[in-house]
Amino acid sequence: MKLVLALTALFAFAPTPADTIAFGPKEGTKLEKRFEMRMRMEKRSMSMSVGGQDLPAEMLEDATMDLTSDQTIVVEDEYKKIDGDRPLLLERQFTKLAKVQEQKVLMVGMEKAQEEKKEKESKLADQTVRFRWNDKESRYDKEWVGDGADSALLEGLEEDMDLRKLLPEKAVSVGDTWQIDLKDFGDILGPGGKLGFVGDDKEEDSDFEDNLTGEVTCTYKGEQELDGRKVARIAAVCKAKTFQDGEEGEGPAMHMDFDISLEGEFLWDVGAKHIASYEMTGEVAADMKLTQEIDMGGKSGELLIKIALGGKIEVEGEFTAK
């Protein structure tokens, strides 16, 4: 009996087996990487003042502001050379780069809602970029494969679209947690760096991704079999804030503060040593402020509009060997 109790105690306090989750695809591996982001927001509340005088709330009840944003990024990466957990030579073909933004606005004085749709593309589409690790400078040198496009497009590109910084720094057991700064989170909301999205209005990339702050808490959920392969499950909770400024021609100046909360799961292919897929969903809230100097009977006054928006955000990625 004493022996049984001793063995029971031994197993009860034995350390939980730890798993190593590592990056390291075989040289020559080709991966198609697809990223999707969808955001939907609508007006929750609104106030307006002209020359410091607030408009009655009942005048704003029927005001409408609906904003949507859809982004699709598809690339094909070929790992030409690998050294440990870093590609030494990688070639990336940009297969699809598309961003669609829509808005529906009904303000005081409008007879009907105005609807606008902006479709943005990038000159990176169908181009191939070579990333070569420069050990002396501890950075990647970038060059076009073939004729290429404007060399300025290379400057803002980032090599890591593998979400490598998602990984824990050591072996982990089920239930272990670790935190990652949002800026080191593989740019989930904007993978690959600045991708040169430009619409008919010649608008450049926004500062949405650049201004992100926050953190991600990851929890290891263990391994499971999926479609004949072993994957490691990593749950993630993301809390982020960002802001964006803009001004359209002679229209009002705009400032938006965003508060984003996301939860989801990442699946890491243990055998192939690269991410397999991920999905995150959550809430987004935004406070928009629009300001403009207007003529008030020969005097200058300020038009100030404050709008609180809320809605849903979804991000997902799929990584498929070619």
The span from the CA of 193 to the CA of 238, in Å, is: 19
- pLDDT one-digit tens code per residue, 207-243: 677 788 888 999 999 999 998 999 999 999 999 899 9
pLDDT at residue 261 in the model: 94
- pLDDT one-digit tens code per residue, 25-55: 999 999 999 999 999 999 999 998 988 888 8
Mean pLDDT to the nearest integer, 59-75: 92
The span from the CA of 74 to the CA of 94, in Å, is: 6
- Tell me the domain boundaries of the chain: 2-24+32-74+101-120+163-321
pLDDT at 12 over 90: no
- pLDDT one-digit tens code per residue, 196-216: 887 644 545 456 777 888 889
pLDDT at 4 over 60: no
Contacts of residue 248, Cβ cutoff 8 Å, sequence gap at least 6: 201, 254
Concatenated DSSP letters of 221-234: EEEEEETTEEEEEE
The span from the CA of 265 to the CA of 280, in Å, is: 7
